Amino acid sequence: MPRDLQRAVKYYQLAAEAEVAQAQLKLADAYATGVGIERDVWESARWMTQAAQKGLSEAQFKLANYYANGTGVQPDKNEAIIWYRRAAVQGLTDARKVLQEIYHEPDPPAETYAELLKLWRAQAEQGNPDAQLRLGAMYLQGQGVATNAGEALRWIKESAERGQGEAQLLLSRCYREGRGLAKDPAQSLIWLERAIDSGSAAAQHTMGVFCFSGELVPTNFVEAARWFRKAAEQGMVLAEYDLARCYRNGWGVSLDQAEARRWWHLAGEGGHVEAQYLYGCCLATGLGSDTNLAEAVQWYRRAADAGHAKAQYQLAGCYFNGLGVATNANIFAEWLEKAACNGDPQSELDFGRWCLRRKAGNPDVSEGIKWFEKAAKHGLSEAQYRCGRAYLIGDGVPKDREKGSNYLHSAAEQHHPLALYELGNLEDTAKNYREALQWYLKSAEAGCLKAMHRIGLFYFNGSGTVRGFSEAAVWFRRAAELGFPESQDMLGRQYEKGQGVAQDFEQALKWYRRAAEQGHVVSQYNLGLANVRGSLGVKDEAEAAKWFRRAAEQGSAGGQNSIGYCYDTGVGVPKDPVEAYKWHLLAVAQNQSNAKVNLNRLEPRLTPEQIIEGKKRAGEFVPKPVAATGEITQNIDK
């Protein structure tokens, strides 16, 4: 978030706490939109109420809408009408339209600013400091009277000199910003200190903010924490929140998670939505005290109901994982969608995933990509990668190679391993092997096992680099030791043939077996061949048949032909001509080179009943999911 927006909101907060209505409106708008500050509709409604009560027609109209729609307040049609009327009296056209078109009412009579101006002027002239402050604020904001900075400052200063803390704080702000007079940091500090002497919690908090930021006074975290504590002890919610942050991070005080938790609890009880969320986090993680998941859910819910996106995301997670509540996929999805709609990047990404995988049992790829694009705009590399892949292949969106490449480059700039790999794959497909190798190297450095394997293949085949079996073995070993089955299979082959490594049948068997146990079809088949032929120093026909069957069950045509041969000849299994016929039929259906010969050799020896049963079994066969793929190039019967 841009720092200038955050700084603007900080100043709005200071002025709003000094009872400046326009600043209260601006702060309410910031909370409503999440611009410059965490979105918080309850805080927005609180500040909008204060601005509306000071007579700002725009605030009155917006507050009316809040009551009409239940934004940050309980829905209340009667209260909405009251505020629409007040805004309409001041000539706000939109308010009049609402009353006329929705409530079918004419413009109602009500008190005007002229009446308030007359009332406050009379009281101000009698020396009432509160009235002097309000009269000054009307001149400052042009409420019911032409804006007049000089007249505003005259009344604000008179109120301030009578010890009105809010006026002193507002006067400090005017000197600091040069509003209606020349900027004078020294005078600003003098009036801020006088406001503090008047006991203003807002002034104490403001001094804490300045000590923290180094504005007006030297940066001093210890002093900042001290002023935050003074304001917090007066019950100022924002100060309670900031004091908790000091304890959480060790800013000006000793690191103390229990104190951070306590002050966040107090601020949360006072309605500070971010504090409610953070206190929920404390309860969920055990920060500062014991874990209490059920209570954490309640605090997440309070913040989530106020529109806090991260609280909504955490609450969704609780329902997904059954933390503090019973698992409920529907409620999980509702809160996740709310968090995504409120602009939380991780929620956008996860809601996109849910659209693709589980949404009402009916995946919606286009909807999923839409949410990925939202998260991608927030800079999430995983979302950028997913968008890149979608546009490259046209999955849920029109195929657009340039757009897909741009998304992948954005993710690659953040070192996303698979994005780097896909960029390598693009160059690989275009036969730009040198460029492909550079992308694969970057992907491998980021931890991508597929890239490590691909680099091994480049060295093995001499693509984009000088052919080198020993270099290939280095890369295959890196991926193999991290569990990548294709690399385990290739390393097994290199040990079997002595390519780049010393020939070692025991090592070959070890790596074939590791890959095979992960479902790698080629390794399963190679183990079958090795055990039936004894080519790797071990001959075990039962073990051979086991691995042929594993490959066959995953749909391998070579495996099906070989296990069929085993059942036909009794290699490693009892003879079973019907089972042999079934597997040969399945292999023939995939055009396996030797299966037709074996089938023709077997079929004359079968009874019609056996043929029928074999065909029945073949028709019922459903292959298991293939965990890893490869190419089988040898046959058992050769």
Tell me: the pLDDT tens digits for 71-102? 888 777 777 877 887 777 666 777 777 766 55
- Report whether pLDDT(342) > 70: yes
Given this model, what pLDDT does residue 600 score? 94
Given this model, what pLDDT does residue 354 score? 93
3-state secondary structure of 346: helix
Given this model, what pLDDT does residue 108 score? 36
Given this model, what pLDDT does residue 512 score? 96
CA distances from 186 to 175, 189, 190, 217 (A): 8, 5, 6, 10
- Report whether pLDDT(629) > 70: no
Contact predicate 380/349, CB 8 Å: yes
CA distances from 6 to 13, 21, 36, 425, 632 (A): 11, 19, 4, 42, 62
pLDDT tens profile 550-595: 999 999 999 999 999 999 999 999 999 999 999 999 999 999 989 9
- Report whether pLDDT(111) > 70: no
Given this model, what pLDDT does residue 109 score? 37
Question: CA-to-CA distance for 8 and 314, rounded, in angstroms?
Answer: 29
Residues with Cβ within 8 Å of 226's Cβ and at least 6 positions away in sequence, in order, are 208, 252
- Report whether pLDDT(488) > 80: yes
Given this model, what pLDDT does residue 131 score? 87
Average pLDDT over residues 279-287: 97
Could you count the other beta carbons within 10 Å of the beta carbon of residue 485? 26
Distance of CA 113 to the CA centre of its chain: 47
CB burial string 399-409: b at 16+ within 10 A, e below: eeeebbbebbe
Average pLDDT over residues 239-257: 96
pLDDT tens profile 354-389: 998 875 567 889 999 999 999 999 999 999 999 999
Bigger pLDDT: 100 vs 259: 259
Residues above pLDDT 70, as percent of the chain: 94
Given this model, what pLDDT does residue 94 score? 78
For helices 237-249 and 257-269, the axis angle rounded to 10 degrees is 160
Bigger pLDDT: 96 vs 40: 40
- The answer to whether 168-383 and 415-518 have equal CATH topology is yes
Distance of CA 356 to the CA centre of its chain: 16
- Report whether pLDDT(628) > 60: no
Contact predicate 321/348, CB 8 Å: no
How sure is the predictor about 117, in pLDDT bands with cuts at 50, 70 and 90? confident
- Report whether pLDDT(330) > 50: yes
Mean pLDDT, the chain, as a whole number?
89
CB burial string 559-584: b at 16+ within 10 A, e below: bbbbbbbbbbeebbbeebbbbbbbbb
Angle at 523 between CA 521 and CA 526, to 5 degrees: 110
Average pLDDT over residues 159-182: 92
- Report whether pLDDT(3) > 90: no
Residue of 425, 449, 453 lying closest to 439 (CA atoms): 425
3-state secondary structure of 520: strand
3-110 carries CATH number 1.25.40.10: yes
pLDDT tens profile 465-476: 888 999 999 999
The domain defined by 524-638 folds into 1.25.40
Bigger pLDDT: 120 vs 150: 150
Given this model, what pLDDT does residue 118 score? 82
Average pLDDT over residues 408-430: 96
Question: CA-to-CA distance for 306 and 480, rounded, in angstroms?
Answer: 50
Q: Which of 46-60, 156-170, 408-422 bottoms out in mean pLDDT, i.e. has the lowest?
A: 46-60
Question: CA-to-CA distance for 292 and 625, rounded, in angstroms?
Answer: 42
Given this model, what pLDDT does residue 106 score? 43
Contact predicate 25/43, CB 8 Å: no
Given this model, what pLDDT does residue 134 score? 84
How sure is the predictor about 120, in pLDDT bands with cuts at 50, 70 and 90? confident
- Report whether pLDDT(598) > 90: yes
Look up residue 401 and give its two tokens: 């190679």
Angle at 152 between CA 148 and CA 153, to 5 degrees: 120
pLDDT tens profile 199-245: 999 899 999 999 999 999 999 999 999 999 999 998 888 899 999 99
pLDDT tens profile 128-138: 998 899 899 88
The fourth-level CATH superfamily of domain 415-518 is: Tetratricopeptide repeat domain (1.25.40.10)
Task: Find tokens 């600043």 and name the residue.
Answer: 23
CA distances from 556 to 76, 508, 551, 632 (A): 68, 21, 5, 8
For helices 129-141 and 113-125, the axis angle rounded to 10 degrees is 140
The fourth-level CATH superfamily of domain 168-383 is: Tetratricopeptide repeat domain (1.25.40.10)
Average pLDDT over residues 385-404: 95
- Report whether pLDDT(638) > 60: no
pTM score, whole prediction: 0.71
Average pLDDT over residues 186-199: 95
Contact predicate 512/492, CB 8 Å: yes
Q: Domain locations in the chain?
A: 3-110, 168-383, 415-518, 524-638
Given this model, what pLDDT does residue 465 score? 81
- Rounded-to-5 percentages of helix, strand, coil across the chain: 70, 0, 30
- Residue positions counted in the chain: 638
Given this model, what pLDDT does residue 632 score? 33
Q: What is the DSSP letter of 554?
A: T
Look up residue 195 and give its two tokens: 């406001």
Average pLDDT over residues 626-637: 43
The phi and psi torsions of 520 (rounded to 5 degrees) equal -75, 115
Given this model, what pLDDT does residue 497 score? 95
How sure is the predictor about 110, in pLDDT bands with cuts at 50, 70 and 90? very low
The phi and psi torsions of 593 (rounded to 5 degrees) equal -60, -40
